[in-house]
Amino acid sequence: MATPDKMKSVMAQVPDTLLVELASGKSYRVSLAKPMASVPGFNALHDPVMFATAKVADFGWTLEWACGLSMASERLYQMGKEQSGEAYPVAEFRAWMERNDMSLSTVSAALGLSRRAVSQYSSGARPIPRVVGLALKGLDRARG
């Protein structure tokens, strides 16, 4: 598996958005609105002053805030790809599997992918290519 790009810089845009520049030069606008609304550990980031303390740490592999909260670059990379439309959202992939009562093996067979790739998509360890999301929609249509 290719290692996601590490971060070069980050700029916080209150109330919940980060502008993340990767070492490759690629940039993503990442909204943290969902985790801030649903994950208790993110409560400190509702303070605009605290949110603005976001900084790149660990040689580009971690984002940290002054309150001690941190996020891995891999998660920000994945969120950036999902929010930009470059990747299919993990939550939707899992919901599709559940709705269709499919295991990793049956999804693998249906899509012609390795079980390992499907496992990595399902766990969020690897961004899901947009083409996989389109294939899921095609399977839904074919099933009528």
Q: What does the pLDDT look like over 73-104, one tens digit per residue?
A: 988 998 999 999 899 999 999 999 999 999 99
Structure confidence at residue 127 (pLDDT):
87
Residue 14, pLDDT > 60, answer: yes
Give the integer Cα–Cα distance in Å for 126 and 66.
28
End position of a domain, from candidates 37, 52, 84: 84
- Same domain, yes or no, for 76 and 105? no
**23 and 79 share one domain:** yes
Within-domain flag for 93: yes
Q: Is residue 38 part of a domain?
A: yes
Residue 78 to residue 84: CA distance in whole angstroms: 10
The alpha carbon of residue 59 and the mean position of all alpha carbons in its chain are separated, in whole angstroms, by 20
Residue 141: C-alpha distances to residues 113, 118, 132, 136, 138 (Å): 20, 21, 14, 9, 5
**Residue 128 falls within a domain, yes or no?**
yes
pLDDT at position 1 is 39
In percent, the amount of the chain with pLDDT more than 70 equals: 97
Count Cβ atoms within 10 A of the Cβ of residue 50 and give its class: 0-12 exposed, 13-18 middle, 19 or more buried: middle
The predicted pLDDT at position 3 comes to 60
Residue 98 lies in a domain: yes
Domain check: are 93 and 105 in the same one?
A: yes
Domain range enclosing 99: 87-143
Q: Say whether both 39 and 67 belong to one domain.
A: yes
CATH classification at residue 33: 3.30.2020.10
Residue 144 pLDDT greater than 50, yes or no: yes
Shared domain check, 13 and 80: yes
Main-chain dihedrals φ then ψ at residue 88, nearest 5 degrees: -85, 135
What confidence score (pLDDT) does residue 4 get?
67
Same domain, residue pair 139 and 114: yes
Mean pLDDT of the chain: 93
Q: Structure pTM?
A: 0.78
CB-based contacts of 107, cutoff 8 Å, min separation 6 = 97, 113, 118, 122
The CATH number assigned to the domain holding 102 equals 1.10.260.40
- 29 lies in a domain? yes
The reported pLDDT for the residue numbered 124 is 86
109: which 2 tokens?
A: 């067979």
Q: Is residue 2 part of a domain?
A: no
For the chain, what percent of residues have pLDDT higher than 90? 86
Domain count, the chain: 2
